[in-house]
Structure 1
Amino acid sequence: MLASTELALLRRVAHEQAVCRAPSLVAAVVRDGQVVWSGARGQVGDARPDDDTQYRLGSITKTMVATAVMRLRDEGALDLNDPLEQHLPGTAFGGATIAQLLSHTSGLTSESPGLWWERTPGADWEALVGSLATGATKLRPGAKFHYSNVGYGVLGELIARKRGSDWLTVLRTEILGPLGMSRTTPHPEGAHAEGFAVHPFADLLLPEPSPDAGAMAPAGQLWSTVTDLGRWTAFLGGQGSGDVLSEDTLAEMRTMVTVDDADNWTTGFGLGLMALRYQGRRLTGHTGSMPGFLAVTLSDPATGTGALVLTNSTGGVGITQLCLDLITTSDELEPAFPAEWLPSTVDPKLLELTGLWHWGPTPYHLRLLPDGCFSLYPADGVGRASRFRPVDSDTWLGLDAYYAGETLTVGRDADGVPNHLDLATFIFTRTPYDPAAPIPGGVDPEGWR
């Protein structure tokens, strides 16, 4: 990036580390699938941390677990609406669906019973599920957002049962390996930061424990580096997903399912991913917190800019706002250029469907997109708009907005010429209320007057 941009970014990082008294802090900006800037302040041992220094990710681990679950869904091994009991029998909360576990709407207790799991050695699955035999469900499944670390311990066991291997091996084989994230591990390896609590009234440090969380590990066990988390940030933002997960599935994970604050929401959850609304942006990612560590990764899919922050402090560092500021500063000082327009290769037979259509008296445009999908939108830009993917020659599936999941069918006259579109019983015609089309309720025989 430009020297002036890098100075502004480093200045923001330096301010956060100094004012919030972080033992060390590393951050990076991601664009076009790679880290384009990184900076560090503070000390790890006797040296400044770098892009290969490991920090604990905490709940960012959940985003990787969710990705493994979505891979199972895409392969047909499960459905998100399946009750847990169908795949992981014998629990006291088997009525919750997989989607509810992913989105923190299962009603499950937030923490595992017993001692604080983040600071004590964890037990195995049998011990965990046994401790949840009574009273584990705190809210009616689906009723509202209720963050549940326990839910992701459950999802880790689900992955293990479906794959016949432990959740961590599955992540290494299916996700971390293909994305080149070799420095993301369950315990620190090589250069790493020690976790500290900072005394609230003195400049003193207290080392924090980092035991293995056992069956709760899928909720927050992993450690990583700027380089590896940069790859993950790019992946979640839709930049270079490779063969791990399709862009459509990533978009599904980013889509809001529930909010966790007031009516004028700023934060919510999709399927394993946080969704944030900030200054007109819609960002996605996750935060992480474990004793001695804070972490965050966020991406703006609209601009392709993402950022990450890692620090070895239990609390007191505004990592989420810092991350948002890094993204905002980058886009303000060096706005990304739009991709150059190029002609696309599309089926010319589809051109006969494009152009002006009417839903009743309201004009709509149907446009053929470069990826072979259609976009249907009001001519004046106000109202319902959706994209559609081909199912067969005359059947299309809604991908987003009001018509997501709905079917659009092309109707043709006796000569095979398209004369109407049937979209979830709504009939679109080339002219308003075309009497030659199957308009529900018919058309007044005297016509327009």
Structure 2
Amino acid sequence: MKKTNISFLLILLITFITQACNAPEKVPPVPESELQTEDPMMQTIMDSVASKMRYYPDQIQFAFAFVDGDSTWYLGVLRENDILKEITNADSVYEIGSISKVFTGILLADMVVKEELQLETTLEDLGIETRTDFTFTLEELSTHTSGMPRIPSNMRWSAMFHQDNPYVNYDDDKLRDYLKNDLTTQSRPGTDYAYSNLGAGVLGYALQVKSDFDYEQLIQQVITTPLSMDQTTTDRSRIKNELVQGRDYNGKPTPNWDFNALIAAGGILSSPRDMIKFAKAQWDTTNTAIQLSQLPRHPVNSGMQIGLGWHIIYRNDGSAWLWHNGGTGGYRSTIYIDEVKKKALVILSNLSAGHSRSRLMDALGQDIMEILIKDES
């Protein structure tokens, strides 16, 4: 009798789990919205924003920056008390996460143009010791084809105890020790695309070794100062008054991330206004470093290739978009650029990358780009 009861309870438990897994997901209602405009295109964009922000908690804000030919404009949206409100946040600052990798790719391209390095330069050429029998070129690090894992194994223990700031204790000494004594590869360098924060961080470290400048100095010299991007930095003390509070997946305040030795993988902060300057610079055909960074170098999948940091999305109409996204514990970002149609979109937010629906931001970006293109026709 006892065995029968246990079997019955086990069947009941399995049935419950199966039904729970197969139950349709409950979609929350679109929150009350104060987003209203007489411009039909902008109203369509606002409605699309509202449909995505239904999933996010209060105090999450999105900052949008648009370029359409010669026109530039901004939109800020805050969810507060379950109401979507329009706010002004074009000069607010957010962590941009992995969009930093595009900056790092341009730094590499700049050194190549100046003949200080070659894309084929290896870590060994720069005196950086690695444990494996393979060599790692700077191009492979920038295109995520180095075969290096996503994060170094000697960071995991520290990250486990600092989940709200996982990179904070990972310094140059630990990076060098890992490369020299513990590095393992997931594939032969130069063969497969496998996204790696470690690889991008090692690239930034290598550029610092070559130049004798730190990463902040490099981005200021090559990118932010020439483009007058005064709110773009890796130094939070410079923009502390403009910095938006990051939020965790529940919408609660969460610490900023310190990328330390892997700063080139995700350590930059910026504003919508600055990022639009960066987007427009991608159309400057006289800037040979930026143009070099955009050239496709390795397939990601059937519809995408990667350059030096930039992902290049090939569309059915024959056009292509430059794209990258980013995410940290308290922020999520995405950028799309259509070089032919001269349209660009930047979305910065204090939405955690840990939120289960954080990737909807990329889908929202695609939707908005399609709206901008459709409006042209």
In which range does the TM-score fall when normalised by the shorter chain? 0.7 to 0.9
Which of 294, 300, 310 pairs up with 1:273?
Answer: 310
User: Are 1:64 and 2:103 counterparts?
Assistant: yes
Per-residue CA deviations over 1:116-167 (Å, capped at 9, x if unaligned) read 3853413321221212322332211012001111112111122212221101
User: Deviation digits for residues 3-51 of structure 1, max 9, x if unmatched?
Assistant: 322222223223322344471111121134x762221211599993510
The alignment partner of 1:38 has SS state of: strand
Q: Do structure 1's residue 171 and structure 2's residue 219 form an aligned pair?
A: yes
1:227 to 273, 295, 319: 273
1:215 to 261, 264, 272: 261
Q: Do 1:52 and 1:226's aligned partners in 2 also have CA atoms closer than 8 Å?
A: yes
Q: Give the structure 1 partner of residue 32 of structure 2.
A: none
TM-score (norm 1): 0.66
Which of 204, 224, 240 aligns to 1:189? It is 240
Task: Structure 2: state its 5+ residue gaps.
Answer: 1-36
Match of 1:141 among 189, 199, 223: 189
Given that 2:215 and 2:263 are in contact with CA atoms closer than 8 Å, whether structure 1 keeps it comes out as no
3-state SS of paired residue (2:320): strand
Alpha-carbon contact 1:13-1:40 (below 8 Å) kept: no
Aligned-pair Cα RMSD in Å: 2.6
* Structure 2 counterpart SS, 1:330: helix
* Shift in Å, 1:63: 0.7
Query: Is residue 293–residue 312 contact of structure 1 (8 Å, CA) maintained in 2?
Result: yes
Distance change (3 Å), C-alpha of 1:88 and 1:309: farther
Provide the residue aligned with 2:375 in structure 1: 333
* Residue 168 (structure 2) pairs with residue 130 (structure 1): no
Matching residue of 1:308: 346
**Aligned residue in 1 for 2:17:** none
> Structure 1: how far apart are the matches of 2:137 and 2:257?
30
Aligned amino acid, residue 122 of structure 1: N
C-alpha contact (below 8 Å) 2:257/2:328 kept by paired residues: no
Q: Report the secondary structure of 1:308's partner residue.
A: strand
1:30-49 equivalences in 2 (<5 Å): 30-32=67-69, 36-42=72-78, 48-49=87-88
| Corresponding position: 1:51 with 2:116 | no
| Match for residue 162 of structure 1 among 199, 210, 229 | 210
Q: What amino acid does structure 2 have at the position aligned with 1:127? A: K
Deviation at 1:206, TM superposition (A): 2.9
Distance 1:19-1:241 versus aligned 2 partners, 3 A rule = farther
Residue identity matched to 2:74? S
Aligned residues: percent identity?
21
Q: Which has the higher strand share?
A: 1
**Residue pair 1:153, 1:217 contacting (<8 A) in 2 also:** yes
Aligned to 1:11: 47
Q: Which has the higher contact order (CA 8 A, sep 6+)?
A: 2
Deviates more, 1:121-130 or 1:73-82: 121-130
Q: 1:177-233: CA deviations, max 9, x gaps?
A: 11111101222522222222234xxxxx23332232110111001111110111112
Contact 1:44 1:192 (C-alpha < 8 Å) held by counterparts = no
Q: Give the count of matched residue pairs.
A: 320
Deviation string for 1:351-389 (max 9, x for gaps)?
xxxxxxxxxxxxxxxxxxxxxxxxxxxxxxxxxxxxxxx
Quote the offset at 1:71 in angstroms: 0.5
Q: Which has the larger radius of gyration?
A: 1
Measured in 2, the distance between the counterparts of 1:88 and 1:47 equals 52
**What are the ranges of 5 or more consecutive residues in structure 1 without an aligned counterpart?**
200-204, 336-449
Instruction: Indicate if the aligned counterparts of 2:106 and 2:308 stay in contact, CA closer than 8 A.
Output: no
Counterpart of 1:228, as a letter, is: D
Per mean C-alpha deviation after superposition, the further-off stretch among 13-22 and 63-72 is 13-22
Alignment partners' CA distance in 2, 1:213 and 1:172: 18
Q: C-alpha distance in 2, partners of 1:44/1:233?
A: 30
Q: Aligned equivalents of 2:188 and 2:291: distance in 1?
A: 27
Among 287, 290, 294, the alignment partner of 1:254 is 294
| TM-score under structure 2 length normalisation | 0.78
Q: Tell me, what secondary structure is at the counterpart of 2:97?
A: coil
Letter in structure 2 aligned against 1:105? T
- Is the Cα contact below 8 Å between 1:124 and 1:215 reproduced in 2? yes
State the distance in 2 between where 1:300 and 1:319 align.
Answer: 18
